[in-house]
């Protein structure tokens, strides 16, 4: 395991799944805890910079590998990767921390899970900072995949990830370090479309070299972990998109009321998905998250914002959470 200074590791039995948890900062229940939730294809390791910054300011930074990732357990059934399952894992983890409330930061799928945690258990969350992925309340008219297909067509990457085994086979065709260099290097400000006559990685705009904000050691850590687990756990979150929608019917049109801040890069594929910028900047997002206190759009920054601009993101997180201490 890559040694990151000041980070300790342990295992928590949560909701029937073994969660690997990385922590930094003061131990015990006295220090305010911050849950850091990663996305795809990522791990707790993606938060290493924020963990150091939070620990230096007296927070207990807690970054689990979500179910299906890294050193956490990976249920075999694809339907075990709904946001409800992930929130159940986090509720158990928060109980283990011994605190009535925690701060939460999410990126990518971690942001989606964080929004869901705030929707289902707002009593557990003091304040939230989410990166890259906005909150859209459940709409009854059509499912998320139907919406994606209507806006972007069948070749949108989320559609390409749906059939079990297909995306796994595409990823397996390439050297795993190349996979991470290509993925982390994406900078094209557009929805990610994967034409069926091209492979996933032929469709990405990056050249396959290590991005300047990562080291070869960083890439090696990701390669080591995903060589052992594969990518199925991560793909299964995408395969539950419509199942999440079905299970969320009781929360149709429900707002998020937790105090929140949102940060995104202007090159992020999520920010450049059709309709998202209008939703963020023309009132829709604020209506759905009435206690949204700030939206930050970083110029020249792509999807993996917490690693590309670690100091700026850490400062935003700490500044926002300091209001609630």
93-118 pLDDT tens trace: 999 999 999 999 999 999 999 999 99
Task: Determine the pLDDT at residue 254.
Answer: 98
With pLDDT > 90 as the criterion, what percentage of the chain qualifies? Answer: 95
Q: Assess whether pLDDT exceeds 50 at residue 43.
A: yes
Q: Assess whether pLDDT exceeds 60 at residue 265.
A: yes
Region 195-213: mean pLDDT is: 90
Confidence grade of residue 196 (pLDDT, cut at 50, 70, 90): confident
Task: Determine the pLDDT at residue 200.
Answer: 83
Region 261-265: mean pLDDT is: 98
pLDDT averaged over every residue in the chain? 96
- Domains of the chain with bracketed CATH: 7-323 (3.40.50.1820)
With pLDDT > 70 as the criterion, what percentage of the chain qualifies? Answer: 99
Tens-digit pLDDT profile for residues 138-181: 999 999 999 999 999 999 999 999 999 999 999 999 999 999 99
3-state SS, one letter per residue, for the chain: CCCCCCCEEEEEEECCEEEEEEEECCCCCCCCEEEEECCCCCCHHHHHHHHHHHHHCCCEEEEECCCCCCCCCCCCCHHHCCHHHHHHHHHHHHHHHCCCCEEEEEECHHHHHHHHHHHHCHHHEEEEEEECCCCCCCCCCCCHHHHHHHHHCCCEHHHHCCCCCHHHHHHHCCCHHHHHHHHHCCCCCCCCECCCCCCCHHHCCCCCCCCCCCCHHHHHHHHHHHHHHCCHHHHHHHHCHHHHHHHCHHHCCCCCCCCEEEEEECCCCCCCCCCHHHHHHCCHHHHHCCCEEEEEEECCCCCCHHHHCHHHHHHHHHHHHHHHC
Q: Assess whether pLDDT exceeds 50 at residue 1.
A: no
Region 249-268: mean pLDDT is: 98
Tens-digit pLDDT profile for residues 119-137: 999 999 999 999 999 999 9
The reply to whether the predicted model has a pTM over 0.75 is yes
Task: Determine the pLDDT at residue 202.
Answer: 87
Kindly list the catalytic residues: 108, 238, 303
Q: Assess whether pLDDT exceeds 70 at residue 2.
A: no
Q: Facing residues of 83 across strands?
A: none
């Amino acid at each position: 395991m890559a040694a990151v200074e000041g980070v300790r590791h342990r295992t928590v039995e949560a909701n029937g799944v073994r969660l690997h948890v990385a922590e930094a900062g003061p131990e015990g229940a006295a220090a305010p805890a911050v849950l850091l939730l990663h996305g795809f294809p990522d791990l707790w390791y993606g938060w290493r910079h924020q963990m150091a910054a939070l620990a230096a300011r007296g927070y207990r930074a807690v970054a689990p590998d979500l179910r299906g990732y890294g050193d956490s357990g990976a249920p075999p059934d694809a339907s075990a990767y709904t946001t409800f399952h992930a929130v159940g894992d986090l509720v158990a983890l928060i109980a283990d921390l011994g605190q009535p409330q925690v701060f939460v930061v999410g990126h990518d799928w971690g942001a989606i899970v964080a929004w869901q945690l705030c929707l289902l258990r707002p009593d557990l969350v003091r304040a939230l900072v989410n990166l890259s992925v906005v909150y859209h309340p459940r709409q009854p008219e059509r499912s998320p995949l139907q919406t994606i297909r209507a806006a972007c067509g069948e070749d949108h990457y989320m559609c390409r990830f749906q059939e079990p085994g297909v995306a796994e086979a595409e990823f397996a065709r390439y050297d795993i370090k190349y996979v991470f260099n290509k993925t982390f290097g994406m900078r094209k400000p557009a929805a990610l479309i994967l034409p069926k006559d091209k492979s996933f990685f032929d469709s990405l705009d990056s050249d396959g070299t290590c991005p300047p904000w990562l080291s070869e050691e960083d890439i090696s850590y990701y390669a080591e972990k995903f060589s052992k687990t594969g990518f199925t756990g991560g793909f299964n979150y995408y395969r539950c998109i419509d199942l999440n929608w079905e299970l969320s019917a009781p929360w149709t049109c429900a707002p998020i009321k937790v105090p929140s801040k949102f940060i995104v890069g202007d090159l992020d594929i999520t920010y450049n998905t059709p309709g998202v910028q209008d939703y963020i900047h023309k009132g829709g997002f604020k209506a759905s998250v009435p206690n949204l206190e700030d939206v930050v759009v970083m110029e020249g920054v792509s999807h993996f914002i917490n690693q590309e601009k670690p100091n700026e993101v850490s400062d935003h997180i700490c500044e926002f959470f300091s209001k609630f201490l």
